[in-house]
A and B are shown apart, each in its own frame.
Chain A
Amino acid sequence: DSGVTQTPKHLITATGQRVTLRCSPRSGDLSVYWYQQSLDQGLQFLIQYYNGEERAKGNILERFSAQQFPDLHSELNLSSLELGDSALYFCASSVVAGGPSGELFFGEGSRLTVL
């Protein structure tokens, strides 16, 4: 158990809909990261927040948005869903904002299926 909690574990929805994925980081971790894993693209970095502020942006679509709240939990909002958005979405957390030696702790993921 990494200490990172993601909900829901599974989600099935239809094209055009909007969903919210939630992540609670490990106690004391200030950074939250979101990743998308699909069969053909592998693990893709989406976005990082540190103490409520966006710190790094990866391959995140404009239809997707995220935020980190004062209690440090984070939400990833996916809108106008398409079939290709079906994937596993992982949240990770770390104590620090960056630095080359910090370890990331990953949750078990939220599996999104868009029909």
Chain B
Amino acid sequence: DAKTTQPNSMESNEEEPVHLPCNHSTISGTDYIHWYRQLPSQGPEYVIHGLTSNVNNRMASLAIAEDRKSSTLILHRATLRDAAVYYCILKRNYGGSQGNLIFGKGTKLSVKP
């Protein structure tokens, strides 16, 4: 599976926007970009995913570079509850037979009041 590179940690202030970067220079044409986050003492939870176009949902926005070699997860107004480890994952199309996600180390986001 193609690899992603994320900063180990980032800090943000409460109520300010946060841009979490992810590099995936070996992405293939059919790889989807997924973001999950894991709050302390909880299981990972889905945040957003996309293929080529930018995506928005109630939790965040995903900006995908035109060459798809990088993407950015945007939290528009960080709250203390957004402090978590954020994982950027490439999900390959195995023809419908496998759906597992391969997690890297992610970015630990700290939010200061």
Listed in ascending order, the chain A residues whose CB lies under 8 Å from chain B are 2, 4, 31, 33, 35, 42-45, 48, 55-56, 58, 90, 92, 94, 96-109
> Please, which residue of chain A has its CB at the minimum distance from the CB of B38?
A43
Q: Is B21 an interface residue (CB 8 A)?
A: no
Bound together, the chains give a CA A109 to CA B38 distance in angstroms of 12
Contacts of A104 in B (CB 8 A): 36, 44, 46, 99, 101
- CB contact under 8 A between A55 and B91, given known A2-B45, A104-B46, A106-B43: no
Contacts of B91 in A (CB 8 A): 100-101
Taking a contact as CB atoms under 8 Å apart, the answer to whether A103 and B100 are in contact is no
Taking a contact as CB atoms under 8 Å apart, the answer to whether B43 and A99 are in contact is no
Listed in ascending order, the chain B residues whose CB lies under 8 Å from chain A are 30-32, 36, 38, 42-46, 49, 51, 87, 91-106
Cβ distance A57 to chain B, nearest Cβ, rounded Å: 9
Besides A48-B100, A106-B45, A108-B42, 5 more A-B contacts (Cβ < 8 Å) are A43-B38, A55-B99, A56-B100, A94-B99, A99-B93
- CB contact under 8 A between A98 and B43, given known A42-B103, A42-B105, A56-B100: no
> Please, which residue of chain A has its CB at the minimum distance from the CB of B101?
A104
Contact of A97 among B96, B102, B104 (CB under 8 A): B96
Taking a contact as CB atoms under 8 Å apart, the answer to whether B32 and A97 are in contact is no
